[in-house]
Chains A and B, each alone.
Chain A
């Protein structure tokens, strides 16, 4: 057997384990949708793996009635959080890569460590401060928390992006008399759109999927969808088929982002490991 046929054979064989693993990854999605599309009459735990005989959207309608206000809350929290985070990260990344001040090399690792801390080590002061500044229970308090604890990752992504841009570009602007703001506004900001997309998507997804901060900091009226969904799943009154439909609704926005802007999402994900 020559080396070439060996490689060729192994290639075809590769699809068997890959497809089996693909089924494993799709399993929860299948159950969510399969159950979600059954009519109330057809739903039963014993027939969980049978396909629906006809498509019904009863489950999705009921789940939507329950979760719609919370999905709206999630957008109200996530959009400002991701927007503010992106601009802050952009400015920090710019200064820490192109306008380095003495001590910048100490500041950066100190910022980065904030990305890894277990939030249980800051939750007690956080609730005290939120109550003290009068933001307890509100969406603005939660937005602020997402922005602040997002500073490390957003700064990291922008810093790496700007670091890859030649310093000569900045030097030339300085020679032409551009200050820190002009250099940013007219040179680096326009070419950093890809980094903005990466950071925005990353923060959008992280804030949308957050549960810990939300359950601690928001009152029931302001619950985002993750908290409401968990509450719905814990109740004895709401049937599991509605829970499945609700889970799917809660996943739709981030899934759509992943499907359409996946490569930007992946770039954000890889930077979290400090590896490019």
Chain B
């Protein structure tokens, strides 16, 4: 009896998620196996043709290259800055709350807002008389060797976009690490000190190994969001082939070009990549939770 009331209460949500998440994924999978091109749905079965085409699609190759560069710069940047800031804030300084709030505020702002600002900050002009944004700041600070063409740099331009993403998400990584550091019992550090370990050794030998679960969680959350990045790139650089990623290719080919079959195939590739990262993590987190 109790069971039925409970199920009845959550039924609307369960149904909504079943339809809008799982039903739609199956639907997209079906579209990805179809010849649908143009405005009228066409479910003619073509097997894996759309996926085969993607494998030899030059634009999709650029997308994969960009995703790899973006993910590396973004994840490594966030981990290093996040861990560094967390260690500094864990020193027990008085203004900790102030700095912590400051490092986290980008999380509250839309990628569209920050993207528009970064677009101007990373103005790619390197000619001496037309410098602006960060290049101009570097010039004023006599750091001319840092002047570069940012997102207009061939091959590596996407790394500049990743810097904008690091700015947005490194505070979040700091919060994860800070929570992890706070969970390390003070007695462990004391014991290491008594044994003659230096402050540096305490971090490398005692604390870092204990932070592995945090690092793993951060890598999965950051890694999966770098596969999904869309807004930031659109706002910073628009839809340029050189700075394309799968999420934008899916969008343009589907809703601007009406290649629904190909768009669905890209959507499925993205989904599988995210699932490979997230499902083991979900399973691990929930199992750990039920073990208490």
Contacts and interface: CB of A to CB of B under 8 A. Distances in A.
B31 A269 contact: no
Given A18-B85, A113-B278, A151-B17, A266 B110 contact: no
A6 B202 CA distance: 14
A113 B120 contact: no
Interface in B1-50: 2-7, 9-10, 12-14, 16-17, 20-25, 27-28, 31, 41
In the complex, which range does the number of interface residues on chain A fall in? 35 or more
B88 A14 contact: yes
B257 interface: no
Interface in A111-164: 111-114, 116-128, 145, 148-149, 151-152, 155
A22 B102 contact: yes
Contacts of A21: 81, 85, 103
B110 A254 contact: yes
A169 interface: no
Contacts of B268: 121
Given A212-B230, A262-B101, A124 B267 contact: yes
A75 interface: no
A209 B27 contact: no
A165 interface: no
Q: Taking each of B22, B105, B228, B231, which has the highest tally of chain A beta carbons within 10 Å of its own beta carbon?
A: B105
A47 to B, nearest CB: 9
Contacts of A118: 227-228, 247, 267, 270-271, 274
Contacts of B81: 21
A163 B105 CA distance: 29
B93 A11 contact: yes
Given A251-B109, A269-B175, A274-B217, A120 B247 contact: yes
Interface residues of B, number: 105
B6 A24 contact: no
A25 B267 contact: no
Interface of A: 3, 6-7, 10-11, 14-15, 17-18, 21-22, 24-28, 31-32, 45-46, 48-49, 88, 91-92, 94-96, 99-102, 104-105, 107-114, 116-128, 145, 148-149, 151-152, 155, 179-180, 205, 208-212, 216, 226, 229-230, 233-234, 240, 243-244, 246-248, 250-251, 254-255, 257-258, 262, 265-266, 269-270, 272-275
Interface of B: 2-7, 9-10, 12-14, 16-17, 20-25, 27-28, 31, 41, 81, 84-85, 88-89, 91-93, 95, 99, 101-121, 123, 131-133, 136-137, 140, 167, 171-172, 175-176, 179, 193, 199, 214, 217-218, 221, 224, 227-228, 230-231, 234-235, 238, 246-247, 250-251, 254-255, 260, 263-264, 266-268, 270-271, 274-275, 278-279, 281-283, 285-286, 290
